[in-house]
C-alpha cells in the first residue's frame, strides 16, 4: 500500500477539488488522506465474517446461468424468516481486508464496483486508487468467492490511466467483464473507450478488446427474462464542460455480449440533453420507469429526470424534472414496487437545483456543483411511483461522506446482497461534507437488504 501523505498535505485535496469544481470536474474527487486505520474501520471486516454472518440476515438469489446451488445456499447469508429481518443487516467490510488475494493491492480510495452471481460463484470488481480523481495509479480488480470468506484473484486492470464503470454480463456459456478506460488528467473527462474480457476459466481471462464507440460510457447491464439490456451515454464531456453538445443516452441489447445494437426498433437514443447515468426497470404491465442524472442541465433544469414509457411505446420516454440528484442510480422492481438506490444530499430540501434562474446556465452549473459538494451525503433507498413519478425516501444505508455507487445481487424473492462504498463507518459522527469525505479513505461494505 502507498505511503500516507504527511498531515500538512491533507488539506490540499479539498482545495484542489474546490478548484476542480469551479472548472467543472464533477465527481472526480480526491482521496489522498491515507489514514492507516481504514482497513479496521467500523462494520465487521471480511476476516470477521464467520462470526458475523451467523446472525446476519444476508442473502442472494438472482442467479446466473448453470445448475449450481443458488447464492443463498452457498453464501449462507439469507434470513430464515425474511418477514422478521431488518431492512438493512449490519454492514461488513469487503475491501480493504486481510482476506483479499495477495494480488490485490488496495490503495486509499475504493469506489466504482460491480457484483454478479455466475455459475455458483460471486464475482466482484472494484476500482482502487490513491485518489478519486483520474490518475496514473488507478487499478481495477476482479475477485470471486463461494462463501464471502475466501476470495480468489481473477483479473487486474492497470492501464496507467483511469478506469471506471465495471460491469459483468452473465450468459449461459460465458462471463464477460467490461470497463471504461479514461485519461489520467484529473481536470478533464477523457473517454478512451470501453474494453471487455471473457472468462475462459478460474483466473483465466481473454485479452482485453475494445468495444463500442470511444465516446460511449456504459452504465448498467440488466437481464430481463433472458433479454440483455445496456444503458450508457455519449457526450459525457458536457457534464464537466456545460454548454457543449447534448449528451445522448442509449438503450442497447445483445445476445452474445460482443455484438450490440438498438434495443428498440430503429432507435438507440432514448434521451438527449444534460442526462448521463441512466437506469431503468420494466413495470409489471410491461412499461418502463427510468431515472437519469441531469448534472449538465437542460430545459428541465438540473438534478434528475424521472421518466416513464407506456407498454406499447417503449421508445417514447416522458420525463419530469426532480430538483434532487440521485447520483449513481440503480433501479429495481421488487414485487411490483419500484425502488431506487442513489445518493442523497443532506440539506433541508435535498435539492441539487437551487432554482437560481437569474443566473446563466454556466453560472448555475458552477454554483450548484460547489454547493452540493460542501454538503453531507448518504446512499439511500427510495421508492418511485410509476404513475406520478414522485420519488420518496425510504431509508439511508449505513453511509456518509463520500458515498454511493451501489450494486445488488438478488438472493431470493425477498432479499438482496448490496455492495456500496462510503467513508469509514466508524467516523459517521463526524458527518463529513462530500468534499471532506473525498479527501479521506473510502471503503466498500456489503449488507443484506430486505425491502418491505
Region at 39 (left for phi over 0; alpha for psi -120 to 50; beta for the rest): alpha
Question: Which of 124, 70, 119, 118 lies closest to 100 in space, CA to CA?
Answer: 124
Query: What is the chain's mean pLDDT, rounded?
Result: 87
Number of other residues whose CB lies within 10 A of the CB of residue 269: 15
Question: Which of 421, 217, 225, 219 lies closest to 333 in space, CA to CA?
Answer: 225
DSSP symbols for 163-181: EEEEEEEEETTEEEEEEEE
Q: Which of 3-17, 53-67, 232-246, 425-439 has the highest mean pLDDT?
A: 425-439
pLDDT of residue 68: 57
With 0-12 / 13-18 / 19 or more C-beta atoms within 10 angstroms meaning exposed / middle / buried, residue 7 is exposed
- Say how many Å lie between the first and final Cα of the chain, rounded: 41
- Name the phi and psi angles at 130, rounded to 5: -75, -20
pLDDT of residue 12: 38
CA dihedral 272, 273, 276, 279 (to 10 degrees): -50
pLDDT band at 130 (very low <50, low <70, confident <90, very high): confident
Using CA atoms, how far apart are residues 20 and 26, in angstroms rounded to an integer?
A: 8
CA dihedral 85, 90, 96, 98 (to 10 degrees): -90
Arithmetic mean of pLDDT, 176-196:
92
DSSP 299: T
Q: For 313-339, b where at least 16 C-beta lie within 10 A, e where not — what string?
A: ebbebebebbbbbbbbbbbbbbeeebb
Does residue 3 register a pLDDT over 90? no
pLDDT digit string, tens, across residues 157-174? 999 999 999 999 999 999
Does residue 104 register a pLDDT over 60? yes
Q: For 286-306, b where at least 16 C-beta lie within 10 A, e where not — what string?
A: ebbbbbbbbbbbbebbbbbbb
- Name the phi and psi angles at 124, rounded to 5: -135, 130
Q: How far apart, in Å, are the Cα atoms of 49 and each of 61, 94, 97?
A: 20, 10, 11
Using CA atoms, how far apart are residues 406 and 343, in angstroms rounded to an integer?
A: 9
Report the Cα 381 to chain-centroid distance in Å: 14
Q: Which residues are 282's β-sheet partners?
A: 288
pLDDT of residue 131: 79
Three cell numbers at 281?
Answer: 426497470
Residue spans of the domains in the chain: they are 7-449
Q: For 340-349, b where at least 16 C-beta lie within 10 A, e where not — what string?
A: bbbbbbeeee
Using CA atoms, how far apart are residues 302 and 280, in angstroms rounded to an integer?
A: 19
**pTM attached to this predicted model:** 0.88
DSSP symbols for 203-249: TEEPPPEEES-TT-EEEEEEEETTEEEEEEEE-THHHHSTTSSPEEE
* Close Cβ partners of 149 (under 8 Å, ≥ 6 residues apart): 46, 49, 50, 99
Q: How far apart, in Å, are the Cα atoms of 78 and each of 62, 121, 426?
A: 13, 16, 25
Question: Which of 320, 436, 298, 302 lies closest to 369 in space, CA to CA?
Answer: 302
Strands 269-273 and 247-254, bridge-based pairing: antiparallel
Number of other residues whose CB lies within 10 A of the CB of residue 12: 14
pLDDT band at 103 (very low <50, low <70, confident <90, very high): very high
pLDDT digit string, tens, across residues 287-315? 999 999 999 999 999 999 999 999 999 99
pLDDT band at 375 (very low <50, low <70, confident <90, very high): very high
CATH architecture assignment, domain 7-449: 6 Propeller (2.120)
- Is 369 within 8 Å of 352 (Cβ atoms)? no
Task: Map residue 399 onto helix, strand or coil.
Answer: coil
Using CA atoms, how far apart are residues 81 and 347, in angstroms rounded to an integer?
A: 36
Tell me what percent of the residues of the chain surpass a pLDDT of 90.
77
pLDDT of residue 306: 99
pLDDT of residue 281: 98
pLDDT of residue 234: 95
Question: Which of 72, 52, 54, 76 lies closest to 63 in space, CA to CA?
Answer: 72
Using CA atoms, how far apart are residues 426 and 326, in angstroms rounded to an integer?
A: 24
Three cell numbers at 162?
Answer: 483511469
Amino acid at each position: 500500500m502507498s505511503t500516507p501523505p504527511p498531515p500538512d498535505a491533507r488539506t490540499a485535496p479539498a482545495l484542489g477539488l474546490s478548484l476542480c469544481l469551479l472548472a467543472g470536474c464533477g465527481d472526480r474527487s480526491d482521496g489522498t488522506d491515507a489514514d492507516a486505520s481504514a482497513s479496521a474501520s467500523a462494520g465487521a471486516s471480511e476476516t470477521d465474517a464467520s462470526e458475523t454472518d451467523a446472525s446476519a440476515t444476508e442473502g442472494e438469489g438472482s442467479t446466473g446461468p448453470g445448475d449450481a446451488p443458488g447464492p443463498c445456499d452457498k453464501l449462507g447469508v439469507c434470513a430464515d424468516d425474511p418477514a422478521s429481518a431488518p431492512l438493512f443487516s449490519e454492514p461488513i467490510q469487503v475491501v480493504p481486508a486481510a482476506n483479499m488475494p495477495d494480488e490485490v493491492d488496495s490503495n486509499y480510495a475504493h469506489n466504482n464496483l460491480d457484483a454478479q452471481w455466475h455459475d455458483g460463484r460471486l464475482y466482484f470488481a472494484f476500482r482502487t486508487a490513491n485518489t478519486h480523481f483520474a490518475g496514473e495509479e488507478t487499478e481495477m480488480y476482479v475477485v470471486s468467492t463461494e462463501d464471502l470468506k475466501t476470495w480468489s484473484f481473477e483479473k487486474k486492470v492497470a492501464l496507467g490511466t483511469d478506469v471506471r464503470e465495471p460491469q459483468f454480463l452473465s450468459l449461459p456459456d460465458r462471463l464477460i467483464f467490461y470497463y471504461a478506460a479514461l485519461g489520467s488528467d484529473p481536470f478533464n473527462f477523457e473517454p478512451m473507450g470501453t474494453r471487455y474480457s471473457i472468462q475462459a476459466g478460474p483466473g483465466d481471462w481473454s485479452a482485453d478488446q475494445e468495444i463500442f464507440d470511444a465516446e460511449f460510457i456504459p452504465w448498467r447491464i440488466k437481464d430481463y427474462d433472458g433479454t440483455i439490456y445496456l444503458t450508457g451515454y455519449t457526450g459525457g464531456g458536457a457534464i464537466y464542460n456545460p454548454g457543449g453538445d447534448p449528451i445522448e443516452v442509449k438503450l442497447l441489447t445483445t445476445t452474445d455480449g460482443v455484438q450490440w445494437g438498438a434495443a428498440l426498433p430503429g432507435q438507440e437514443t432514448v434521451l438527449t440533453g444534460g442526462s448521463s447515468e441512466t437506469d431503468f426497470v420494466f413495470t409489471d404491465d410491461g412499461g418502463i420507469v427510468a431515472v437519469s442524472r441531469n448534472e449538465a442541465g437542460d430545459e428541465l433544469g438540473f438534478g434528475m429526470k424521472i421518466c416513464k414509457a407506456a407498454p406499447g411505446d417503449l421508445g417514447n420516454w416522458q420525463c419530469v424534472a426532480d430538483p434532487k440528484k440521485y447520483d449513481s442510480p440503480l433501479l429495481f422492481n421488487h414485487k411490483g414496487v419500484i425502488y431506487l438506490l442513489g445518493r442523497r444530499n443532506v440539506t433541508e430540501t435535498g435539492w441539487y437545483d437551487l432554482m437560481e434562474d437569474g443566473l446563466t446556465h454556466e453560472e448555475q452549473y458552477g454554483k450548484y456543483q460547489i454547493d452540493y459538494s460542501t454538503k453531507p451525503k448518504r446512499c439511500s433507498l427510495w421508492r418511485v411511483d410509476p404513475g406520478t413519478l414522485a420519488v420518496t425516501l425510504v431509508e439511508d444505508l449505513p453511509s456518509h461522506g463520500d458515498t454511493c455507487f451501489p450494486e445488488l445481487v438478488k438472493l431470493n424473492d425477498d432479499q438482496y446482497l448490496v455492495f456500496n462504498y462510503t467513508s469509514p463507518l466508524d467516523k459517521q459522527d463526524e458527518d463529513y461534507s462530500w468534499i471532506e469525505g473525498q479527501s479521506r479513505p473510502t471503503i466498500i461494505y456489503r449488507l443484506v437488504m430486505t425491502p418491505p
